[in-house]
Every structure is written in C-alpha cells, then in structure tokens.
Amino acid sequence: MAKLAFIGLGVMGYPMAGHLVKSGHEVSVYNHTELTAQSWQMENRYQTMWHGEYNLGFAVDWMRTDLNITLNEARKNGSHLPLTALTALVDQFYAEVQAIGGNRWDTSSLLAQLERSRK
C-alpha cells in the first residue's frame, strides 16, 4: 500500500482520508482545525454567498492556474494523484464560472455555477 498525505479534513476530506486508511494506506494528515466536519467558507462567507457577492477572496483565475500547475507537474514527474479526476472536475466548474464572467470572483463562486446549472 501507499504512503499518502491528505490536506484538509472538512466535510469531504475526513471521510475520504478515512476510506484510504481503511483500504490499508498509511495516511498523514494536516488540518488547521480539529478532526470535525466543518467548512470555513460556509461559516464565514455564507451571507455573502447568499447575496451573490464573490469579490472577497482568492480569484478563480488564480485557482485555475494553481490547479493546472499541480496537474501538469504531476504528469511531468509521474506522480500518482488519486484525486486527479476530482481536481479536473473542480477545474471544469471554475472554467464555467469564468465563462459567466467570474474570472476575478473568489472560490465561493462555485455556488453561482451550481445555481446556473440547476436552471
């Protein structure tokens, strides 16, 4: 089995890391809070998200740049990224945010993409 690192044990990260451990992998984790399901974004930004205010944080353009650097470097050096498909999916969602003019919106703007896709 593999030695893996997992950053962030929020709503998704905690169960994902748990499944990796149950599968026999050695998992090292880093989390800025305790091992509880919580979301800084939802706790601190829910009101601005509710009102469609997305100009407060890390821009979608920068997030997509970081995601692509990660994916390209992994391909180049042969790193195995078990969540590559998920990363590519998130990048696709951010591309859709950019397509509706959200290049400089922050990462919470995925809510705008979700709302648009439901219509």
Task: Outline which parts of the chain fall under CATH 1.10.1040.10.
Answer: 45-119
In order of 76, 106, 109, the CA distances from 93 in angstroms are 24, 13, 10
pLDDT in tens, 40-53: 777 888 888 889 99
**What six digits make up the tokens of 84?**
């590559």
**What six digits make up the tokens of 73?**
């470097």
For residue 70, what pLDDT is reported? 85
pLDDT in tens, 8-26: 777 677 788 888 888 888 8
For residue 95, what pLDDT is reported? 94
CATH superfamily of 45-119: N-(1-d-carboxylethyl)-l-norvaline Dehydrogenase; domain 2 (1.10.1040.10)
96 pLDDT tier (thresholds 50, 70, 90)? very high
For residue 75, what pLDDT is reported? 87
